[in-house]
């Protein structure tokens, strides 16, 4: 008889902060007290703020502790499980995790309460990712049930369209519109593909959803399938995401057993199956057509467009390719309606956005906030300000393919349209906050090196252009470059942006172009006299 379950957060951040040792300590202590047979211990999802990791969650009470050190783990066993007393001083700070509610943060500007708005993360760290019952107990599969019993596919599509949901993979394409392209196709077989090839450096938002709330993605996919008339879905997951894959596969099995996936879901006559396809290490496979090639067992090189995947996708058939975060938005939209969704975020970009915050700030980790908050708010409030002794110099947004943003743009609302107007990109939602000692040339070099490594080699501007750019940046870094070299670097970057085949090659020069735009003097200072 198992009377309780202990989940130690097992995401990489937690592991690197000693989660394994905590788990070992707990297990040892359970044996010591003779509790090993009645209490099981496993790894679960992490919460999103790194400073509170690793966490230890105890079910069925749902008490969460964090951050927990190995000694604390032993103490928790003794106090909570053996003596039955909650260890107050180890409890997770309330602002780190409040399910479905506004979490009040300590620092308010002008008396205003700043808060995370948890729509996508409301279950992450709260539910046991290995338990479908837990998911269902937290409104899980309600949206699917509602859609299948009371809505037509067109109605589902219209809700998503009216919600104004935009693709969260980086480009911000209207999701409902993409679905309608596929829905209008006459082919009998269509596919829903979930792009879980999260590879933008500094981005770990999808991973948090996949590992903390895998059923949300499955439910979103099933809803998409219902809306467009697809009966098969595929999740293309990064090869490196071993734990995410394991949890997804487990979740799929459970959902099929429960009858919320598979044939004739909930007796509605609608069938939907989901498979997982893991990649093998190639950033380019995040590009949707390269992803499709890879799914078909080929090299991950992008396809010629048009035709787009909505017409000629997986196996040449109409295919919706949506990012994990996009799909996770779908169940709450269907459940609560488009009008509710539009109360979040901005008029042009409704909803919330996940950001992974890193760099020279006090609190790093994942946050979910309404679209349209400013970078300044992220830095000052959510990230707890810059680290002691550092001032903000720039932020690198959107992973490698984003742009370098200077202090002058700190007050731009972060949504797809406003960022685009500034020539910047929201991208994947990674925010690398750099302090004043950051070397911009070096930063650009690192970013371009990444692109050179990850270029698929198909088109000339990317294959040779990244090599040329890296060479020039290296000369600059080493102090060998002359003014003509810098001029040529800028020229190559400009042309490569115009001429490359796909988004990777078009993004590769952006660190140089945006670096030059805002920090030209730093490049010039490196020139040889």
Partner 1 sequence: MPECSTLNEIMEKYGGDREALVEILRDVSQAAGYVTAEDMATIAQRLGLPQSQVHSVASFYSLISLEPLGKHVIRFCQDAPCHVAGGQEIWETLERELGIPFGATTPDGTWTLLTTSCIGACSVGPVMMVDDEVYGNLTPGRVREIIAQVGGGV
Partner 2 sequence: MSEIHLKINDREVTTQSGQTVLEAAKSAGVEIPVLCHHPALSNWGACRMCVVEVEGMRTLQTACTLPATEGMVVKTHTEQTFDIRKFVLELLFSERNHYCMYCQMSGDCELQDQAYGHGLDHWTYPRPYEKQEVDATRKYFIMDHNRCILCSRCVRACTEIAANHTLGLRNRGAQTMISADLNVPFGASSCVECGTCLQVCPTGALIDARSAYGGREKDVTHTQTTCMQCSVGCDLDVVTRYNRLLRVDGVWDSAPNGGLLCVDGRFTPLYETRKRVVKPLVRKDGKLTESSWEEALGLVADTLKGSTCQGLAACATTNEALAAFAGLMTQLGGQAGRLEPVAPALGYGVPATVADVLDADFIIVAGAQPLEYQRVVGYFIHRAADKGATVAVIGDSENALNKRAALSVASAQAGVVAQAAADAEKIVLVYSVGIKPEVVAALKPLGDKVSFLALDPARNGKGAEAAGLKPQSPTKTDVAYILLGEQPVADALRVPAGFKVVQTAYHSALTEQADVVLPTPLWYERSGHVTTLDGVDKSLQTVLPAPADVRDESVVLAQLTALLRS
Select from 164, 97, 359, 147 the least CA-distant residue to 268: 147
Give the separation between CA 301 and CA 172, rounded to whole angstroms. Answer: 22
The reply on whether position 256 binds partner 1 by CB under 8 A is no
Q: Among 202, 351, 465, 511, which residue sits at the site for partner 2 (rule: CB under 8 A)? A: 465
DSSP three-state, residue 280: coil
Q: Among 109, 495, 520, 524, which residue sits at the site for partner 2 (rule: CB under 8 A)? A: 495
Choices 77-85, 185-193, 219-227, 296-304; region in contact with partner 1 by CB under 8 A: 296-304
Q: Among 90, 466, 513, 526, which residue sits at the site for partner 2 (rule: CB under 8 A)? A: 466
The reply on whether position 194 binds partner 1 by CB under 8 A is no
Nearer to partner 1, 129 or 202 (CB): 202
For the CB of residue 13, give the shortest distance to partner 2 in the complex, in Å. 30
The tokens for 258 are 């429960």
For residue 8, what are the β-bridge partners?
A: 43, 56
Residue 430 binds which entry of partner 1, partner 2, none, with Cβ cut-offs from 5 to 8 Å by kind? Answer: partner 1
Q: What DSSP assignment string belongs to 175-244?
A: HHHHHHHHHT---S--EEEEEE---STT--HHHHHHHH-HHHHHHHHHHHHHHHT--EEEEEE-TT-HHH
- 86-118 b/e (C-beta count within 10 Å ≥ 16 → b): ebeebebeeebbbeeeebebeeeeeeeebbbbb
Q: Among 138, 273, 463, 477, which residue sits at the site for partner 2 (rule: CB under 8 A)? A: 463
Q: Among 55, 57, 180, 294, which residue sits at the site for partner 1 (rule: CB under 8 A)? A: 294
Q: What DSSP assignment string belongs to 32-49?
A: HTT-TTTEEEEEE---SB
Q: Among 116, 198, 219, 325, which residue sits at the site for partner 1 (rule: CB under 8 A)? A: 198
Site of tokens 């098969």: 232
The reply on whether position 450 binds partner 1 by CB under 8 A is yes
Binding letters toward partner 2, positions 269-298, x by CB under 8 A = -------------x----------------
Q: Among 441, 447, 456, 512, which residue sits at the site for partner 2 (rule: CB under 8 A)? A: 456
Nearer to partner 1, 277 or 475 (CB): 277
The reply on whether position 501 binds partner 2 by CB under 8 A is yes
- 17-55 b/e (C-beta count within 10 Å ≥ 16 → b): bbbbbbbbbbbebbeeeebeeebebebbbbbbbbebbbb
**99-128 positions binding partner 1, by CB under 8 A:** none
Terminal C-alpha separation, the chain: 77
Binding site for partner 1 (CB under 8 A): 12-13, 15-17, 50, 198-204, 207, 239-242, 277-283, 294-300, 356-360, 364-365, 396, 399-400, 430, 432, 434, 438, 442-443, 446-447, 449-450, 453-454, 456
């Amino acid at each position: 008889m198992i009377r309780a379950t202990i989940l130690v957060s097992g995401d990489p951040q937690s592991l690197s902060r000693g989660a394994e040792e905590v788990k070992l300590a707990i297990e040892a202590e359970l044996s010591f007290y003779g509790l090993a047979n009645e209490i099981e211990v496993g790894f679960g999802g992490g919460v999103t703020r790194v400073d509170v990791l690793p966490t230890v969650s105890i079910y069925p009470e749902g008490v969460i502790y964090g951050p927990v050190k190995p000694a604390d783990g032993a103490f928790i066993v003794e106090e909570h499980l053996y003596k039955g007393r909650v260890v107050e001083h180890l409890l997770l700070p309330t602002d780190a995790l409040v399910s479905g509610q506004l979490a009040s943060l300590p620092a308010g500007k002008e008396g205003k309460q700043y808060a995370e708005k948890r729509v996508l993360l409301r279950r992450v760290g709260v539910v046991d990712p290995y338990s479908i019952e837990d998911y269902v107990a937290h409104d899980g599969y309600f949206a699917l049930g509602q859609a299948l019993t009371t809505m037509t596919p067109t109605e589902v599509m219209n809700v998503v369209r009216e919600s104004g949901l935009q693709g969260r993979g980086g480009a911000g394409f209207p999701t409902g519109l993409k679905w309608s392209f596929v829905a209008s196709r006459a082919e009998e077989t269509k596919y829903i593909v979930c792009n879980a090839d999260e590879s933008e450096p500094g981005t770990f938002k999808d991973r948090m959803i996949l590992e903390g709330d895998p059923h949300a993605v499955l439910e979103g996919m099933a809803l998409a399938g219902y809306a467009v008339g697809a009966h098969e879905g595929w999740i293309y997951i990064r090869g490196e995401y071993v734990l995410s894959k394991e949890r997804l596969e487990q979740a799929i099995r459970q959902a099929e057993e429960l009858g919320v996936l598979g044939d004739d879901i909930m007796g509605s006559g609608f069938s939907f199956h989901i498979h997982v396809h893991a990649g093998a290490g190639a950033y380019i496979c995040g590009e949707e057509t390269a992803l499709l090639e890879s799914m078909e067992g080929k090299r991950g090189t992008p396809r010629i467009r048009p035709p787009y995947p909505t017409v000629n996708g997986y196996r040449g058939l109409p295919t919706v390719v949506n990012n994990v975060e996009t799909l996770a938005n779908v169940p709450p939209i269907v459940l609560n309606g488009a009008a509710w969704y539009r109360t979040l975020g901005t008029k042009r970009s409704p909803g919330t956005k996940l950001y992974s915050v890193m760099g020279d700030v006090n609190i790093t980790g994942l946050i979910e906030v309404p679209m349209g908050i400013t970078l300044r708010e992220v830095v000052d409030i959510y990230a707890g300000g810059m680290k002691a002794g550092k001032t903000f110099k720039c932020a690198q947004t959107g992973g490698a393919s984003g742009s370098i943003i200077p202090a002058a743009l700190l007050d731009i609302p972060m949504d797809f349209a406003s960022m685009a107007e500034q020539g910047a990109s929201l991208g994947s939602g990674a925010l690398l906050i750099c302090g004043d000692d950051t070397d911009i040339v070096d930063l650009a070099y690192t970013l371009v090196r990444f692109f050179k490594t990850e270029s698929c080699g198909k088109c000339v501007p990317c294959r040779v252009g990244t090599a040329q750019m890296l060479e020039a940046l290296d000369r600059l870094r080493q102090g060998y470059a002359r003014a003509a070299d810098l001029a040529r670097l800028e020229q190559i970057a400009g042309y490569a942006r115009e001429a490359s085949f796909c988004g990777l090659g078009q993004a590769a020069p952006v660190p140089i172009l945006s670096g030059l735009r805002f920090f030209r003097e730093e490049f010039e200072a490196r020139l040889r006299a």
